Amino acid sequence: MKEVKIKDEFIKLGQAMKLAGMVGSGVEAKIVINEGQVEVNGEVECRRGKKLHDGDIVSFDGEMIKIVG
Protein backbone atom coordinates (compact mmCIF):
# COMPACT_ATOMS: atom_id res chain seq x y z
CA MET A 1 0.00 0.00 0.00
CA LYS A 2 1.34 3.40 -1.02
CA GLU A 3 1.34 6.28 1.41
CA VAL A 4 0.43 9.83 0.47
CA LYS A 5 1.92 12.38 2.85
CA ILE A 6 -0.05 15.56 3.42
CA LYS A 7 1.23 18.82 4.87
CA ASP A 8 -2.16 20.33 5.64
CA GLU A 9 -5.06 19.02 7.71
CA PHE A 10 -6.64 17.31 4.69
CA ILE A 11 -6.36 16.60 0.96
CA LYS A 12 -9.24 16.22 -1.46
CA LEU A 13 -9.92 12.79 -2.92
CA GLY A 14 -9.23 13.75 -6.56
CA GLN A 15 -5.94 15.41 -5.61
CA ALA A 16 -4.81 12.41 -3.57
CA MET A 17 -5.56 10.04 -6.45
CA LYS A 18 -3.54 12.18 -8.87
CA LEU A 19 -0.65 12.53 -6.41
CA ALA A 20 -0.50 8.76 -5.90
CA GLY A 21 -0.59 8.08 -9.65
CA MET A 22 -3.90 6.20 -9.45
CA VAL A 23 -5.23 8.41 -12.26
CA GLY A 24 -3.53 10.48 -14.90
CA SER A 25 -5.59 13.64 -14.55
CA GLY A 26 -8.26 15.43 -12.57
CA VAL A 27 -10.76 14.67 -15.33
CA GLU A 28 -10.03 10.95 -15.06
CA ALA A 29 -10.41 11.14 -11.26
CA LYS A 30 -13.77 12.88 -11.66
CA ILE A 31 -15.04 10.18 -14.03
CA VAL A 32 -14.05 7.15 -11.93
CA ILE A 33 -15.30 8.78 -8.71
CA ASN A 34 -18.65 9.70 -10.30
CA GLU A 35 -19.00 6.13 -11.61
CA GLY A 36 -18.69 4.78 -8.06
CA GLN A 37 -15.40 2.97 -8.69
CA VAL A 38 -13.57 4.53 -5.72
CA GLU A 39 -13.84 3.54 -2.07
CA VAL A 40 -12.77 5.54 0.98
CA ASN A 41 -12.42 3.50 4.17
CA GLY A 42 -14.35 0.62 2.59
CA GLU A 43 -17.34 2.66 1.38
CA VAL A 44 -18.08 3.91 -2.13
CA GLU A 45 -17.38 7.64 -2.39
CA CYS A 46 -18.89 9.74 -5.19
CA ARG A 47 -17.57 13.18 -4.16
CA ARG A 48 -14.31 14.25 -5.78
CA GLY A 49 -13.95 16.98 -3.15
CA LYS A 50 -14.25 14.56 -0.20
CA LYS A 51 -11.73 15.66 2.41
CA LEU A 52 -9.27 12.93 3.38
CA HIS A 53 -7.44 13.04 6.70
CA ASP A 54 -4.59 11.15 8.34
CA GLY A 55 -5.35 7.42 8.37
CA ASP A 56 -7.94 7.39 5.58
CA ILE A 57 -7.58 4.61 3.02
CA VAL A 58 -8.54 4.99 -0.65
CA SER A 59 -8.97 2.01 -2.97
CA PHE A 60 -9.45 2.01 -6.72
CA ASP A 61 -8.85 -0.62 -9.41
CA GLY A 62 -7.06 -3.01 -7.04
CA GLU A 63 -4.74 -0.30 -5.72
CA MET A 64 -4.80 1.15 -2.19
CA ILE A 65 -3.30 4.30 -0.70
CA LYS A 66 -3.14 5.51 2.87
CA ILE A 67 -3.21 9.18 3.81
CA VAL A 68 -0.42 10.07 6.25
CA GLY A 69 -0.40 13.42 8.05
**Domains identified in the chain and CATH numbers:** 2-68 (3.10.290.10)
How many Cα neighbours within 13 Å face the side chain of 7?
0
Going by pLDDT thresholds of 50, 70 and 90, the confidence category of residue 12 is very high
pLDDT score, position 20: 96
pLDDT score, position 50: 98
- pTM for this prediction: 0.94
The CA distance from 69 to 62, in Å, is 23
Model confidence pLDDT, tens digit, residues 38-68? 999 999 999 999 999 999 999 999 999 999 9
Mean pLDDT of 14-40: 97
